[in-house]
C-alpha cells in the first residue's frame, strides 16, 4: 500500500513537471507571437523595377532582398564582403527562382568606395526604383573610417548620405521611387553634438550608435523636404529587436562585462526578440506597400507610422545635419 502511494506521488510529480514544461513552452510561443510585430500585407509586384539594398548579405538585409526578389525585381546586393554577398545572392536566386539578383562592392566606411559604387549603378542601370539603406555597424570601439570619421556615424549616416545623393538623379528619373533608411529605437539614446561631431571629447559605443540612428531619421526628414514634388518619397524605420551579426563588435567595445552578459542577452532575444524574417517586415512595408506617399519623411515601427523622439523631429537640426554632412563628404 505504501509502495502504491509512493508511485502515485511520483506520477503526480511527473504530471506537474510535464504540465509546467508545457505551460512554459506555450508561454514562450505566445510571447514570441506577441513580440513578432507587424507584417507587410502588400502583394505588390516589382517586375521591371530595380532595387539596391546595402548590407544585403546577412540579417534583415538578406531577408529583405529575398522578399523583393520574390516580387520580381532586379535586386542589387551592395556589400563590403563579396564572398558572403555571392553566397547570399546564390541562395536568394535558388529560393525565389529570380536569376536577376546581382552583387556589387560597397564599403560604406570609404567615401571612395561609395562613389565608385554609385558611378557603376548610374552607368549600368537604366532605372532605380527603390534604395534601401540597410547596412550598419553597432557599438564598436572608437574606430575611424577610411576618411577619419567616427566609424558608426561615418558608416551608418555619412556613407548612406553620400550614396543617396549620388543616386538621386536616377531615383528622380525613375519616379515614383523610394528611399528607405533603416534606423532604430536606439535613436532615443542618441544626441547630436554639432561641436563634437567626431566624438573626440567623449565616446560611448552605445551613445555613438544611438547618434547615428538619430541621424538616419533627421536625414530622412530633410530628404523628404528637399524632394517634395519630385515623386521620390523617403521613410525611416525601427526594424525591432533582433539577434543579427550587427552586435558582433560589442565584445570588443565593452570587454569582459558584455561577454559575461551575452547569455542573458541571448535568452532575452530568444523570448522577446523578433526572428530575422519578422525584423525585415517594416523595411519591406516601407519599400513596397501602396498608399504611403502621405507618410513620406516619417518614422515607422511594426509597419505603421510612429512618433520618434522630439529631437528626431527637430527640423532645424535636420537642416544643420544636412549642411554639415554635405561638407564632410565633399558635396559642398
Sheet strand arrangement including 304-305 = 101-105, 74-79, 50-54, 130-133, 177-182, 232-238, 299-301, 304-305
Per-residue pLDDT tens digits for 84-140? 999 999 999 999 999 999 999 999 999 999 999 999 999 999 999 999 999 999 999
pLDDT at 14 over 70: no
294: left (phi over 0), alpha (psi -120 to 50) or beta: alpha
Per-residue pLDDT tens digits for 18-72? 565 555 444 444 444 444 589 999 999 999 999 999 999 999 999 999 999 999 9
How much is the pLDDT for 24?
Answer: 45
How much is the pLDDT for 310?
Answer: 98
Nearest 5°: the CA angle 11, 17, 23 is 135
pLDDT at 305 over 60: yes
How much is the pLDDT for 152?
Answer: 98
Q: Is the dihedral of CA 93, 169, 223, 321 positive or negative?
A: positive
Set of cell numbers at residue 241: 529587436
Q: List own/partner pairs for 263-270 with CB under 8 A and 24 or more apart.
A: 269/241, 269/242, 269/243, 270/28
How much is the pLDDT for 133?
Answer: 99
Report strand pairing: 101-105 vs 130-133: unpaired
* pTM for the model: 0.85
How far is it, in rounded angstroms, from Cα 246 to Cα 48?
Answer: 32
Q: What is the mean pLDDT of the chain?
A: 89
How much is the pLDDT for 166?
Answer: 99
Report how far apart, in Å, the C-alpha atoms of 330 and of each of 227, 259, 327 are. 21, 39, 5
209 is catalytic: yes
Of 29, 10, 56, 84, the closest CA to residue 283 belongs to: 56
Quick one: average pLDDT of 311-323?
Answer: 99
Of 109, 112, 1, the closest CA to residue 55 belongs to: 109
Report strand pairing: 232-238 vs 299-301: parallel
How far is it, in rounded angstroms, from Cα 41 to Cα 290?
Answer: 10
pLDDT at 256 over 60: no
Which residue is listed with cell 576618411? 147
Q: Please state the length of the chain.
A: 332
Please give the residue that has the higher pLDDT: either 254 or 175: 175
At residue 274 the predicted structure's pLDDT band, cuts being 50, 70 and 90, is confident
CB–CB of 135/108 below 8 Å?
A: yes
Q: Which of 203, 209, 235, 299 is catalytic?
A: 209
CB–CB of 217/95 below 8 Å?
A: no
Quick one: average pLDDT of 302-307?
Answer: 98
Q: CATH 3.40.50.720: does it fit domain 41-240+276-327?
A: yes
For the chain, first and last CA: distance in Å?
Answer: 92
Of 272, 292, 269, 288, the closest CA to residue 280 belongs to: 288
Cis previous bond, 176, omega within 30: yes
At residue 309 the predicted structure's pLDDT band, cuts being 50, 70 and 90, is very high
Of 191, 215, 218, 57, the closest CA to residue 135 belongs to: 57
Of 214, 273, 213, 267, the closest CA to residue 241 belongs to: 273
Amino acid at each position: 500500500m505504501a509502495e502504491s502511494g509512493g508511485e502515485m506521488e511520483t506520477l503526480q510529480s511527473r504530471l506537474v513537471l510535464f504540465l509546467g514544461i508545457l505551460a512554459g513552452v506555450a508561454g514562450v510561443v505566445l510571447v514570441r507571437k506577441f513580440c513578432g510585430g507587424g507584417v507587410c500585407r502588400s502583394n505588390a509586384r516589382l517586375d521591371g523595377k530595380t532595387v539596391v539594398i546595402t548590407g544585403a548579405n546577412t540579417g534583415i538585409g538578406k531577408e529583405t532582398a529575398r522578399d523583393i526578389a520574390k516580387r520580381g525585381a532586379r535586386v542589387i546586393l551592395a556589400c563590403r564582403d563579396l564572398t558572403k554577398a555571392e553566397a547570399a545572392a546564390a541562395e536568394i536566386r535558388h529560393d525565389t527562382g529570380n536569376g536577376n539578383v546581382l552583387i556589387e562592392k560597397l564599403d560604406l566606411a570609404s567615401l571612395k568606395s561609395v562613389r565608385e559604387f554609385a558611378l557603376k549603378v548610374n552607368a549600368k542601370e537604366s532605372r532605380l526604383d527603390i534604395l534601401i539603406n540597410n547596412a550598419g555597424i553597432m557599438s564598436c570601439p572608437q574606430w575611424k573610417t577610411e576618411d577619419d570619421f567616427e566609424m558608426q556615424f561615418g558608416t551608418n549616416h555619412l556613407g548612406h548620405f553620400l550614396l543617396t545623393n549620388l543616386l538621386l538623379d536616377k531615383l528622380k528619373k525613375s519616379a515614383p521611387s523610394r528611399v528607405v533608411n533603416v534606423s532604430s529605437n536606439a535613436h532615443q539614446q542618441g544626441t547630436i553634438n554639432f561641436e563634437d561631431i567626431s566624438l573626440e571629447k567623449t565616446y560611448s559605443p552605445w551613445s555613438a550608435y544611438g547618434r547615428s540612428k538619430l541621424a538616419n531619421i533627421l536625414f530622412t526628414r530633410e530628404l523628404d523636404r528637399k524632394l517634395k514634388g519630385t515623386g521620390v518619397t523617403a521613410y525611416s524605420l525601427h526594424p525591432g529587436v533582433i539577434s543579427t551579426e550587427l552586435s558582433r563588435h560589442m565584445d570588443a567595445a565593452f570587454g569582459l562585462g558584455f561577454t559575461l552578459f551575452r547569455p542573458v542577452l541571448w535568452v532575452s532575444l530568444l523570448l522577446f526578440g523578433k526572428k530575422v524574417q519578422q525584423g525585415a517586415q517594416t523595411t519591406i512595408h516601407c519599400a513596397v506597400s501602396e498608399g504611403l506617399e502621405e507618410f513620406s519623411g516619417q518614422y515607422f515601427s511594426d509597419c505603421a507610422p510612429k512618433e520618434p523622439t522630439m529631437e528626431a523631429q527637430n527640423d532645424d537640426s535636420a537642416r544643420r545635419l544636412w549642411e554639415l554632412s554635405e561638407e564632410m563628404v565633399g558635396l559642398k
